[in-house]
Chain A
Amino acid sequence: MFAVVREAIDPRTFEGAIRPGDGAAVKFFGVVRDRADDGRAVCALSYEAFEPLATAEFEKIAGEARERFGDVALAIVHRIGEIGVGEVAVAVVASAAHRGAAFDACRYAIDELKRRAPIWKKERYADGSARWRENENVS
């Protein structure tokens, strides 16, 4: 499953991303934090995406993960729109025969998504101001 969605991401809905017969599944949820990197209080993040290219990039990242780590099934879902503190902005689920490949693929997918998927976020602060934030080499 590769998707950009507008509705809330419910962490419980990813059971289907675990392939029958696999022995390991790693789930990552990126959640809206209450503080910016500089310590300012955040009340929400507003995300937007170039949707066709974003989902194509998710598929491409999953293909690369299979080349690197072997037979791994990935699900990548990113929410857009305004997302409040504590809510899930992105979910990555990796399912594989063994945990090594599942952890590696999950980490690879979220790192690459942050590096290159055409998705943008604006931090909205408690004082009413806002600014666009680019991903640096934060992991």
Chain B
Amino acid sequence: MRIRVLAFARLREILNAAETALELRAGARVGDAWAALAEGCPALEEHRASTRVACNGRLVAPDHALHDGDEVALLPPVGGG
């Protein structure tokens, strides 16, 4: 399956892209997407514990199952206001 990954703030800078496409095996979960991203960009790993993940606009758990065409957003700790 192919998903879109959106990265914000410092994660966008670490990935050097606001949006990236990811090819994953069928049945992959959010945790697998993280692993695939961190493989290409090890500096991401230290931010994993503090990052919330949204799938198609809703916050999801690390074991959330992904589907082809999903939009996964990586949300680091917030700083609005």
Contact = CB atoms under 8 A, between A and B. Distances in A.
Which one of B6, B8, B57, B79 has the greatest number of beta carbons of chain A within 10 Å?
A: B79
Interface string B1-18: 000001011101000000
Interface in A96-139: 110, 113-122, 132-135
Contact of A121 (B12, B54, B79): B79
A56 B6 CA distance: 17
A46 to B, nearest CB: 10
Contact of B81 (A30, A48, A50): A30
A93 interface: no
B8 A120 contact: yes
Contacts of B78: 114-120, 134-135
B79 A120 contact: yes
**Top 3 closest pairs, chain A to chain B, by CB:** A119-B80, A120-B9, A114-B81
20 contacts: A47-B80, A50-B8, A50-B54, A53-B75, A113-B80, A114-B78, A114-B80, A114-B81, A117-B78, A117-B80, A118-B54, A118-B73, A119-B79, A119-B80, A120-B8, A120-B10, A121-B79, A121-B80, A132-B10, A135-B78
